[in-house]
Amino acid sequence: MTHGIAATPHHLASEAAADILRSGGNAIDAAIAANAVLCVVYPHMTAIGGDLFALIWPAGAQEPIGLAGAGRSGSLASWQALRNRGLSRMPEAGSLTVTVPGTVEAWGRLLERFGSLGFAPLLAPAASVARDGFLVTPGLAQALVESSLLLGGDAESARLLPPLRSGMLLRNQDLAESLAAIGRSGFNDFYRGAIAGRIVGALERRGGVLTAEDLAQHRSAWVRPVAFRYRDLVVYEMPPPTQGLAAVGLIRRLEAAAQAPPLVYVQALQRARDAVYPLRDSYITDPDFSPTPEAPFLDLEARGWGPGEELLEGDTIYLCTADEHGNVVSLIQSLAGTFGSGIVAEGTGVLLQNRGSYFSLEPSHVNRLEPRKRTMHTLIPALAGREGSCWAAFGTMGADGQPQIQAQVWHNLADHGLSAQEAVARPRVRVAPGGQQLWLEADHPAARQLLRSGAAGVQVLPPRSSQLGHAQALVRGADSGWQGGADPRADGSVVEV
């Protein structure tokens, strides 16, 4: 590695990161450029109308710092108001699920503190791809068809995101112009300028509850990661409102089974998930409204008091970058559900997230909908260190399943000594949302045993199924150089320059 390395779920994003590194940008610059391209080429997974979380290990630092770029609910949003409209639970999409998009402001905060380049050169590759067009991947083509009712219900979404076949060209001229405007003026245009006005207007026309003031007041938060020791390593996760503590609980509970036979590991994963997810759903929400205790997640015997929420399945992107100076970035970003709320603000090309669908309308629920509140987030980037320097960056898409997938990637790296590529490509297993089914890929070594046993609820998926996540990883090799892994379940690549 001369300049740096990047692992992303789409080759165009990896190439954008590589170009930034070649031109003298650092890992933070490269991550933002890659993220912006993903907001164009993976609209079913993410957009600049979504939220972002990142862990940054700055060059020379002894530990990382986190940035929580989570948007809040509207100041007019409350569980009482929606109950009065006759709703008993949050909608899965539509204007009532839109929370303030946190991504663009988070980019700005990252650049202010750690970046070496400005917005313009970092967003130029994404704007170019949006303007000139890109080839639709098989996954995007499938998502466009499967979400045709959602997208067809909104005139602007239907115009910009029609059903297309794999290999066809997709352009978004409005998004190209929005990215160029942000490149010129920074994030202010998105939260206080013309783009903000169009977003608020679009939501008002659709009965939404975000105001201009809600956008203007948005701020990301610098946070201290949750850290725990794993043998001679320290693992770092995002604190609440993310489910990072659920990943902590799973990894700790699975440590004793990490090198067990595959069937034993799968059974241990099921038990760990059944213990940890109810804890997550009992405790985790916006810490400004209700602090989350860490102790139950670290206690190997603790359990929550409910069955666990059946969270909406979603789509997400995860990427990681490192540079020659020693900076490392672990970044995750999402719209929540596939194509988010299904709403594109007219004249912007910006898909808006449906992260508000994760709120509860139950008055006693810790994550109940309240004005200007951040919901419990599934997004969890991770880092690991050894003796005060970064050893690995890893993460995945997969919504509710992220802690389970992340734990398996971690054990592949830390316990089985696999390369980064082997760790993210290895067959995986996952307890499905709701906890009633076990998903595993057909080439998983425990698949035949589970099928022969007649265990209830086992669903065998094709190898390399997207339902088992799109993971990326970087790990430091014996020569102190970085090696990367890009999940073959996606369309990504590792680029080293």
What residues act catalytically?
316
3-state SS, residue 349:
coil
Q: How far is CA 194 from the centre of its chain?
A: 27
d(CA 292, CA 150): 35
Q: Residues near 111 by Cβ (< 8 Å), separated by ≥ 6?
A: 28, 29, 32, 117, 118, 119, 122
Strands in 152-293 per DSSP E: 169-170, 221-223, 226-230, 233-237
Q: What one-character DSSP code corresponds to residue 466?
A: G
CA 441, 442, 443: angle at the middle one, nearest 5? Answer: 95
d(CA 124, CA 108): 15
d(CA 425, CA 488): 6
What is the chain's length? 497
Q: Considering Cα of 110, then 116, then 120, then 121, what sign does the dihedral take?
A: negative
Helix axes 11-22, 119-132, angle to 10 degrees: 150
Q: How far is CA 257 from the centre of its chain?
A: 27
Per the DSSP assignment, residues forming a β-bridge with 181 are none
Tell me the two tokens of residue 187: 């994030």
By the 10 Å C-beta count (0-12 exposed, 13-18 middle, 19+ buried), 227 is classed as: middle
Reference 35, options 395, 359, 451, 445; nearest CA is 395
Tell me the two tokens of residue 188: 């202010």
By the 10 Å C-beta count (0-12 exposed, 13-18 middle, 19+ buried), 224 is classed as: exposed
Pair 444, 427: CB distance under 8 Å: yes
Pair 280, 245: CB distance under 8 Å: yes
